[in-house]
């Protein structure tokens, strides 16, 4: 299935097809000089398939984990591009999760003022969320995603077969973002979680999430309004994520962070889903630290009141101005 994405800065196609990695010739050219960026946690068999297809391909393997979204790893990739005499007609292919995609996309966006970028996401989170929408970034000076660009890929290739090697915890991590999209924008997606096991209907979950994300980024490419709905659960989630000191995955923090943003009726419906998915309802971390981390995060983006996304019933949302005291109360609800 080909899903077109149209944004003000240009359009591209998302290929959503099982075994797409074995049929790359149907979607991209083989002769373009390629720097393939992947990490050492992504099974080598996937990189082998891509590099076997590309006639002129250099593989750049970075260490797995968020720490690689750094200026040092960016320099490492840019050096590979310079040393390998990559030019304006060359391309970068990202093969990995959101870390590889954000970093390689940013490298492609700045090298020679922008060369072709293709994203082949291999985590569920990257397939349903980070590979679409054109946000690229690295972390800098201790602040997540603070240096980056909006840069659209020329193609996104999603092969859900690669999820077979992804650890269960990482699958659940991606599903938290999928539930976020169901809760705010797609009632039927929410019902997939409520009535059964979303991992059994993973292709449908991916497709529904892509439809939600595309409809949002097409209307608001650069996050001036509507796109903020994708931050549902993230304000509190980020505070917890920093305070928990790396013990919890991003999606696990978002899952916890969504609960205070829901009506009490909806929270009751969510309880069995969280149990089924293995997500905690509260974070075990220092409450004050979580509150401080959240405010520090907000301060670096302008301070003052913030806008939070609330959900009273599945498939709906509203934006609400939230002051410091209320935000502290919401965080307190999420921490034990
Ligand atoms: N650009 C955006 O719009 C956007 C949106 C959401 C999140 N993000 C970013 O995404 C990043 C998180 O991405 P993530 O959750 O994909 O984490 P990740 O990229 O760190 O990947 C998680 C782990 O899975 C491993 N892995 C990847 N594919 C695998 C596979 N098929 N089989 C086995 N192991 C595999 C990786 O080696 C890594 O250890 C964060 O940096 C976040 O800021 C970006």
Confidence (pTM): 0.95
Overall size of the chain counted in residues: 336
With CA atoms as reference, report the closest residue to 11 among 181, 218, 189, 204: 218
Active site residue 19: no
Note whether 206 and 323 are same-domain residues: yes
Which residue segment(s) compose the domain that 328 sits in?
168-334
- Name the active-site residue from 144, 227, 287, 296: 227
Active site residue 31: no
Please report the atom of ligand 1 found closest to the CA of residue 249. Answer: 15
Note whether 257 and 298 are same-domain residues: yes
Note whether 174 and 319 are same-domain residues: yes
Model pLDDT, residue 287: 87
Model pLDDT, residue 17: 97
Please report the atom of ligand 1 found closest to the CA of residue 165. Answer: 32
Measured between alpha carbons, how far is 18 from 25 in angstroms, rounded to an integer?
14
Model pLDDT, residue 18: 97
Contact 169, 249 (CB under 8 A): yes
Note whether 234 and 291 are same-domain residues: yes
With CA atoms as reference, report the closest residue to 153 among 78, 76, 101, 209: 101
Task: Reduce the DSSP state of residue 85 to 3 states and report it.
Answer: coil
The CATH number given to whatever domain includes residue 215 is 1.20.1090.10
Note whether 24 and 78 are same-domain residues: yes
With CA atoms as reference, report the closest residue to 331 among 289, 301, 302, 303: 289
Note whether 158 and 51 are same-domain residues: yes
Distance 14 CA to ligand 1 centre (A): 18
Note whether 205 and 299 are same-domain residues: yes
Contact 333, 262 (CB under 8 A): no
Measured between alpha carbons, how far is 267 from 258 in angstroms, rounded to an integer?
9
Active site residue 234: yes
Note whether 114 and 184 are same-domain residues: no
Which runs of consecutive H residues, i.e. helices, occur in the chain? Answer: 44-53, 71-83, 98-110, 124-125, 168-185, 187-195, 202-219, 234-243, 250-258, 264-277, 287-300, 324-334
Note whether 139 and 274 are same-domain residues: no
Distance 68 CA to ligand 1 centre (A): 11
Whose C-alpha lies nearest to ligand 1, atom 26?
42
Distance 102 CA to ligand 1 centre (A): 9
- Buried (b) or exposed (e) across 267-291, using 16+ Cβ within 10 A? bebbeebbeebebbeebebebebbb
Which runs of consecutive H residues, i.e. helices, occur in 133-201? Answer: 168-185, 187-195
Beta-strand pair 10-16/2-7: antiparallel
Active site residue 113: yes
- Name the active-site residue from 234, 241, 252, 298: 234
* Sequential pLDDT tens for the chain (336 residues): 999 999 887 899 999 999 999 999 999 999 999 999 999 999 999 999 999 999 999 999 999 999 999 999 999 999 999 999 999 999 999 999 999 999 999 999 999 999 999 999 999 999 999 999 999 999 999 888 999 999 999 999 999 999 999 999 999 999 999 999 999 999 999 999 999 999 999 999 999 999 999 999 998 888 888 999 999 999 999 899 888 888 899 999 999 999 999 999 999 999 999 999 999 999 998 888 888 887 766 544 555 678 899 999 999 999 999 988 898 999 999 998
Active site residue 289: no
Whose C-alpha lies nearest to ligand 1, atom 20?
65
Model pLDDT, residue 127: 98
Distance 125 CA to ligand 1 centre (A): 6
Which residue among 109, 141, 165 closes a domain? 165
> What's the structural domain count of the chain?
2
- Name the active-site residue from 180, 207, 238, 298: 238
Measured between alpha carbons, how far is 269 from 18 in angstroms, rounded to an integer?
33
Model pLDDT, residue 305: 79
Note whether 268 and 202 are same-domain residues: yes
Please report the atom of ligand 1 found closest to the CA of residue 251. Answer: 15
Active site residue 238: yes
- Name the active-site residue from 231, 241, 252, 298: 231
With CA atoms as reference, report the closest residue to 211 among 182, 252, 233, 191: 182
Note whether 73 and 30 are same-domain residues: yes
Pocket of ligand 1 (CB under 6 A): 39, 41-43, 64-66, 69, 96-100, 102, 122-123, 125-126, 129-130, 133, 135, 145, 162, 165-166, 170, 173, 250
């Amino acid at each position: 299935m080909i899903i077109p994405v149209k944004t003000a800065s240009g359009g591209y196609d998302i290929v959503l097809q099982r075994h797409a990695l074995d049929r790359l010739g149907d979607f991209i050219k083989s002769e373009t000089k390629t720097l393939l960026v992947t990490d050492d946690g992504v099974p080598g068999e996937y990189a082998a398939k891509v590099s076997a297809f590309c006639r002129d391909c250099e593989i750049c393997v970075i260490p797995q984990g968020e720490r690689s979204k750094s200026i040092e790893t960016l320099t490492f990739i840019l050096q590979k591009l310079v040393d390998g005499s990559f030019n304006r007609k060359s391309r970068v292919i990202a093969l990995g999760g959101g870390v590889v995609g954000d970093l390689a996309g940013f490298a492609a966006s700045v090298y020679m003022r922008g060369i072709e970028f293709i994203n082949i996401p291999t985590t569920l989170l990257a397939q349903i969320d980070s590979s679409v929408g054109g946000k690229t970034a690295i972390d800098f000076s201790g602040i997540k995603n603070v240096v980056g660009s909006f840069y659209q890929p020329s193609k996104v290739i999603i092969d859900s077969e690669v999820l077979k090697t992804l650890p269960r915890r990482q699958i659940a991590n991606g599903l938290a973002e999928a539930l976020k999209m169901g809760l705010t924008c797609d009632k039927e997606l929410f019902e997939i979680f409520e009535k059964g096991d979303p991992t059994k209907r993973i292709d449908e979950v991916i497709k529904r999430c892509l439809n939600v994300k595309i409809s949002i980024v097409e209307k608001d490419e650069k996050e001036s309004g509507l796109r903020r709905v994708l931050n549902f659960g993230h304000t509190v989630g980020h505070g917890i994520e920093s305070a928990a000191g790396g013990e919890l995955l991003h999606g696990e923090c978002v899952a916890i962070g969504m609960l205070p943003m829901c009506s009490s009726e909806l929270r009751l419906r969510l309880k069995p889903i969280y149990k089924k998915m293995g997500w905690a309802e509260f974070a075990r971390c220092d409450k004050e630290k979580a509150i401080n981390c959240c405010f520090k995060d907000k301060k670096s983006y302008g301070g003052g009141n913030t806008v939070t996304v609330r959900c009273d019933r599945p498939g709906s949302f509203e934006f609400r101005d939230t002051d410091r005291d209320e935000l502290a109360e919401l965080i307190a609800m999420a921490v034990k």
